Amino acid sequence: MTESSTAEAKAALRAEIRMARGSRVTSDEESERLSQQLGQYCLDNRVSVAAAYLPMPHEPNIRGFLDWAKSQQIGLLLPVVSGQDLRWVEFDTNTRTGELGFVEADGKLADLKAAEVIFLPALAVDLAGNRLGQGKGFYDRALQQSEKLHKKVKRIAVVFDDEIKVSLAAEPHDKKIDAVVTASKLVWFNR
């Protein structure tokens, strides 16, 4: 696949998934199961600081996990957009409207290297660990930074079950992830 055809394939899949998400009705039970999966990972791995995100409309809802983590005194680092990059802040439930016009965490600046796991949003993931994001590259740049900061941090994408694909078109700048989690499973990738 050429670079332009790869970009076109990714753009077409993004449009398809966004349309499907727009008509998806997610139950409270599904959101609760997803939050339990994330919480169980943290318990099993004795995570004391996790990086996560505030879910946008139509993304898998992890707000229950965020509330649970705070109740368990697990530190949460959430992203805020700063120009072309993400900065990370300590989340304590405060939010604000960010640079791109959507709700972001508001808190004290933090260093991503403090996180032991990064739960990140995705539109789709394939069985080789390729992640399809929204297309702006924010998380690819953050993942590249995390590789430099802390090699052992686990990078786990959060998607709906039907968004795990056999393969996805990928470009050289796309950063692979270690695992994907849904409301029903956690899948690790051999790399």
CA proximity to 29, closest of 160, 163, 183: 183
pLDDT of 164 reads 95
Token digits of residue 36: 């339990």
Beta strands in 83-150 (DSSP E): 85-90, 95-97, 103-105, 109-110, 117-121, 124-126, 131-132
Cβ–Cβ < 8 Å for 121, 109:
no
Cβ–Cβ < 8 Å for 61, 94:
no
Structural domain spans, the chain: 3-73+114-188
Residue 150 has pLDDT above 60, yes or no: no
In the block, which residue shows the tokens 């039907």?
162
Q: How confident is the model at residue 185 (pLDDT cuts 50, 70, 90)?
A: very high
In the block, which residue shows the tokens 């016009």?
101
Token digits of residue 158: 């959060």
| The CATH number, out of the four listed (3.40.710.10, 3.50.50.60, 3.40.50.10420, 3.40.50.720), of the domain defined by the range 3-73+114-188 | 3.40.50.10420
pLDDT digits (tens, 9 = 90+) for 97-147: 767 767 888 899 998 889 999 999 999 999 999 888 875 666 766 776 655
Dist CA 175 CA 131 (whole Å): 7
pLDDT digits (tens, 9 = 90+) for 18-63: 998 888 888 899 999 999 999 999 999 999 999 999 998 899 999 9
Residue 188 has pLDDT above 90, yes or no: yes
pLDDT of 148 reads 58
pLDDT of 1 reads 58
